[in-house]
Amino acid sequence: MKKYVSELLMIPGPTPVPNQIALAAAKDMMSHRGGVFKKLMLDLTAKLQTLLQTKNEVVVLSASGTGGMEAAVSSCFCRGDKVLIAAVGNFGKRWIKLAKVYGLEAEVLEYAYGQAVDPSAVKALLAKDTEKEIKGVFFQMNETSTAVLNDVEEIAKVVKAHGALIVVDAISGFLASDLKIDEWGLDVVIAGSQKAFMLPPGLAVVAVSEKAKKAIETSDLPHFYLSLKAALKQAAEGQTPYTPAVSLIYQLVESVNLLAEEGLDSIFDRHERLMKAVRSALRSLGLKLLNENDGTASRAVTAVYPPGNLNADEIRKKMKDDWGIALANGQDELKGKIFRIGHLGFIDPKDVLAVIACLEIVLSQLGMPGIQWGKGVQAAQNVLAKGD
């Protein structure tokens, strides 16, 4: 039996890729400098704007999400600029590293694992900056490493009152829950292909406000391949400054068509339900979540402690070996101490039900006492069975 199980990627990206999207990569290559590609790119960016709920310009970078983050840092700021970074996990730390690499002077609000950014703390800190020296505020929409969803709208409100650029890493958060770029006034927003887009990794989508474009004009930081200035200039012509990842672009076209057909409400709804089902199931089995606050629960991933003296890595190994289910490890100091269940993108209720059923078996086989098979499944069923 063990030799023959299909693989199910329950990690927070890459998610499984639907066949329809996978096969789009096999389309004939075309010249990325020809008219057909130009039309394709212009159509694509228009559809991306709709999904991103923005009239801001959108560019597609042939780089993974981190490339998009670096583009935001290196394209929008100047040497020595002060910025504020609100970090709640490993990807928050990535903003700190990027700021350091580019010589920005970063003030950092750091939170314990599992906590969300407190908008009032951001407000208090910005209130002290009467000289408006802080040029940008960086944070994550969804912190993948700790399964925390930040309140982007509230954070944006206090930053807007101050005037700094609002830079949001929405790589794992985009499409998993609502993100109103224009209504909330977000300046730079980064999404990644391997998350709710259901694509392989390799593309970053960046939405840039008029205000950010002005900052881009005056940036003196070194940037070339990841230059938002160059990307924006070319995007107006349906072009990219450097050779784009053509097959991934084909797949992104397929994805945005599927997503547009489904509609944002349905996309948000299914992510919310899977999140609730997973949390309810894990709790019913007596497991402790890293982030117990339902109000800031990630729609994309759930982080959980192993029960009792069980080993998180052993749980993950046995889920993989026995059932073909890939779960994610913790990151940083949480490595080996938690495991994470991804439930975004091309993951559906059937997958969640199966994962909980398999997890019940694995936990009891590894020695968790008193676990009743089917109980966690029942909790998930109770969430998922609700009609539209």
Binding site for a copy of itself (CB under 8 A): 1-6, 8, 18-19, 22-23, 26, 262-263, 266-267, 269-270, 273, 323-325, 346, 348-351, 353-355, 357-358, 360-361, 365, 372-375, 377-378, 380-382, 384-385, 388
Q: How far is the CB of 181 from a copy of itself (least distance, A)?
A: 23
Nearer Cβ to a copy of itself (19/243): 19
The rounded distance, in Å, linking the Cα atoms of 337 and 333 is 8
* Buried/exposed 295-305: b ≥16 CB within 10 Å, e otherwise: ebbbbbbbbbb
Nearer Cβ to a copy of itself (220/388): 388
Residues 6+ apart with CB under 8 A from 151: 116, 117, 119, 296
Nearer Cβ to a copy of itself (10/88): 10
Cα-to-chain-centroid distance, residue 22: 20
Q: How far is the CB of 209 from a copy of itself (least distance, A)?
A: 30
Q: How far is the CB of 323 from a copy of itself (least distance, A)?
A: 6
Nearer Cβ to a copy of itself (30/78): 30
Please report, for the chain, how many H helices and E strands are present, in that order: 14, 14
The rounded distance, in Å, linking the Cα atoms of 73 and 105 is 12
Amino acid identity for residue 200 in this structure = P
Nearer Cβ to a copy of itself (220/265): 265
Q: Does the annotation flag 283 for ligand binding?
A: no
Q: How far is the CB of 82 from a copy of itself (least distance, A)?
A: 44
Nearer Cβ to a copy of itself (109/363): 363
The rounded distance, in Å, linking the Cα atoms of 175 and 86 is 22
Q: For the purposes of burial, counting CB atoms within 10 Å of the CB of 39, is it exposed (0-12), middle (13-18) or buried (19 or more)?
A: exposed
Q: How far is the CB of 303 from a copy of itself (least distance, A)?
A: 22
CB 341 within 8 A of CB 327: yes
The rounded distance, in Å, linking the Cα atoms of 81 and 177 is 32
* Residue closest to 17 by CA, chosen among 224, 213, 199: 199
Q: How far is the CB of 369 from a copy of itself (least distance, A)?
A: 16
CB 183 within 8 A of CB 53: yes
CB 252 within 8 A of CB 197: yes
Binding site per annotation, positions: 340
* Residue list, annotated binding site for substrate: 340
